[in-house]
């Protein structure tokens, strides 16, 4: 499976209406976690982040939120941001637009129901959506943007989902490519945990020593 650890800047220019990086506030990194929430793993991520006073954005799958609403409630209570990662994790390029939008909206309803009563979540000025696999048709993106969603992409990829990746390489690439304003993606999933548990604490420790803070979108 081929993927970039660092998304080339020319791709940002081709899709300028998607969010790839944040304004370069001095020494800030924007950590994101896809595919959860997952029992034990999402809890471990929260505890690890807490050690560095780090906030992050969790792009949750609706079907996982439905099974584990208490984890989303805990993320919200600890002041992490909650984003939408669709309900069924469809690949946009292989899904017709009508079905794709319905799936995203289904996830939105599930997340809102899980967080009913959360003033912080319901008062968010923008809805955050990250397309599964980073693949989305222009028609899908336009429809979601018309519904008020911000399409959040990625600047730096940890590669934690890659079963043949050596954790040391993941860490090396993260440290090389992550800059202030970078949106970095990890995954709080069973598949990714082998690499995540080795790389995330080390990256946080090094970035903290370099003076970075960790902010939610």
Q: Write out the catalytic residue numbers.
A: 34, 187
Dist CA 208 CA 217 (whole Å): 19
């Amino acid at each position: 499976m081929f993927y970039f650890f660092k998304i080339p800047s020319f791709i940002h220019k081709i899709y300028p209406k998607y969010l790839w990086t944040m304004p370069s506030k001095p020494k800030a990194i924007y950590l994101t976690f896809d595919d959860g929430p997952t029992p034990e793993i999402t809890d471990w991520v929260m505890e690890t982040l807490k050690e560095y006073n780090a906030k992050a954005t969790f792009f949750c799958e609706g079907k996982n939120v439905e099974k584990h609403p208490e984890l989303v409630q805990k993320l919200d209570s600890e002041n992490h941001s909650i984003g939408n990662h669709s309900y069924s994790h469809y690949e946009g390029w292989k899904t017709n637009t009508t079905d794709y939008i319905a799936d995203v909206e289904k996830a939105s309803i599930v997340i809102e129901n899980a967080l009913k009563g959360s003033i912080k979540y319901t008062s968010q000025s923008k809805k955050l959506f990250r397309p599964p696999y980073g693949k989305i048709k222009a028609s899908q993106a336009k429809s979601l943007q018309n519904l008020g969603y911000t399409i959040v992409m990625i600047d730096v990829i940890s590669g934690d989902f890659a079963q043949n990746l050596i954790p040391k390489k993941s860490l090396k690439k993260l440290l090389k490519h992550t800059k202030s304003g970078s949106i970095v993606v990890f995954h709080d999933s069973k598949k990714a945990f082998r690499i995540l548990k080795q790389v995330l604490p080390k990256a946080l420790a090094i970035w903290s020593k370099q003076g970075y803070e960790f902010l939610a979108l």
